[in-house]
Amino acid sequence: MGVTRVEPVGSVAGHIAVPGDKSVSHRAVLIGALSDGETHVRGFGRSADTESTIAAVGALGIQVDEVADDELVVHGVGLRGLQEPDAPIDAGNAGTLMRLLPGILAGQEGRFELTGDDSLRTRPMDRIAEPLKRMGARIETTKGLPPVVIEGTDALKGIEYVLPMASAQVKSAILLAGLNANGTTTVVEPAPTRDHTELMLATAGARIQRRPKSVSIDPAGSLHLAEVTVPGDFSAAAPFIVAATLLAGSELTIHDVGLNPRRTGLLDVLERMGARVIVFNRRKVGGELIGDLEVHSAELTAADVTEEEVPRLVDELPLFALAAGVARGVSHVSGAGELRLKESDRIETVTEGLRTLGVRIQPRDDGFEVRGVPSRPNGGQMPSKGDHRIAMLGAVAGVVSRDGVEVEGSDVVAISFPGFFDLLHSVSRR
């Protein structure tokens, strides 16, 4: 288990780009596999998680040409052309793969078993098994967890499903199953979650109908994706946005970042806190909004994050906790019980980790409360607990701290962002 010591720095400055979006990269490979013909993926975000997706489709008979580190060609076999693998599929640590793939496999021919690493095998799967069963899928979990076994069927039927939790992964699994179902499939959301699946399926020619609180899909004859340009991952940009905001004298530009409004809740919350992030060069690439971000340091005041807003910054809430820790006033996050079901129980890992560093944060059942103190946190040790977002939180805490932070289990950043520590180092100024 690697330990990386992150020293305090004066500021961060320069121009950077971050890897391709993880959510979009998974979807490009999965939807490319279901398309007819070749899909050329540019800006692919290569990481342990997205490698798991390439390996998974490979086991299902899909040829993926790795043209360059960030460029792939996926040879699609059509909507029902996946093959039964000869061994269980290992999704590694990738929750998105584990949740989306069963939606696809439910309508294929054959028997499929999906498993994952120790962390993934603690993550709930009943949330997808339940709606898929209602569609007629034959899917069994292991007491609600992975491993999951799916016996494909050609008798799926469309349903209307009201999501009990705001989850893009669950929504996506249902929509993907809807591609091979009879009749229309509708998913109603309690709050807007990321819509990359809908956008990409629409680009591929699926009949998608979007309403403010729901989305419907009709069975598709065929999909043609052809090309995907993956935007920079907003969630990978977020540690740099927070570091530049908190370190006086910083001026950091992050180029070609995905700015899908269902992902950028952190920008809205930081703006309420007084942050100075200028968005320029806004444009659309393949249905997704992208742009450049120029981040200047700022003094922050406290903010509250409410349940409705949570899905728009769900993966950035650990970083919000750190920002709140140095803001003036008391901040709250509520309605974020889903954090307990991520790669770690992020309410526990964030509050325990940041407290050790001197941040005044209290856990709540469904979030946390932070009493900000506008000065550098002390520093100390931060265990990643096998969670990539917690390792990156520890690193940002390190650069903004007084004494530095030892990130224990730092290698786990490779789950989403293998070059993270080098990039952070490259923008750090004494």
- The contact set with ligand S3P (CB under 6 A) reads 23, 96, 167-169, 172, 193-194, 314-315, 338
Cβ atoms within 10 Å of 73's Cβ, excluding its own: 14
Cβ nearer to ligand S3P, comparing 11 with 167 = 167
69 burial (CB, 10 Å; 0-12 / 13-18 / 19+) is exposed
Contacts of 352 (CB under 8 A, 6+ apart): none
SS3 302: coil
Q: Cα(103)–Cα(324) distance, rounded to whole angstroms? A: 38
Tokens representing 147 are 């491993």
Q: Is the Cβ–Cβ distance between 240 and 18 less than 8 Å?
A: yes
Nearest distance in Å: CB 301, ligand S3P: 27
Amino acid at site 254? I
Cβ nearer to ligand S3P, comparing 231 with 380 = 231
Nearest distance in Å: CB 22, ligand S3P: 7
Nearest distance in Å: CB 193, ligand S3P: 6
Q: From its phi and psi, is residue 4 left (phi > 0), alpha (psi between -120 and 50) or beta?
A: beta
**Is 315 considered catalytic here?**
yes
Q: Which of 36, 117, 315, 411 is catalytic?
A: 315
- When CB distances to ligand S3P are compared, the closest residue is 23
Radius of gyration of the chain (CA): 21
Nearest distance in Å: CB 248, ligand S3P: 31
Instruction: List the beta bridge partners of residue 255.
Output: 17
Q: Cα(153)–Cα(202) distance, rounded to whole angstroms? A: 24
Nearest distance in Å: CB 5, ligand S3P: 27
Q: Is the Cβ–Cβ distance between 284 and 200 less than 8 Å?
A: no
Cβ nearer to ligand S3P, comparing 172 with 384 = 172
- DSSP state string for 247-264: STT-EEEEEEEE--TTT-
Cβ nearer to ligand S3P, comparing 169 with 349 = 169
150 burial (CB, 10 Å; 0-12 / 13-18 / 19+) is buried
Cβ nearer to ligand S3P, comparing 196 with 376 = 196
Nearest distance in Å: CB 234, ligand S3P: 11
Cβ nearer to ligand S3P, comparing 289 with 400 = 289
Residues known to be catalytic: 315
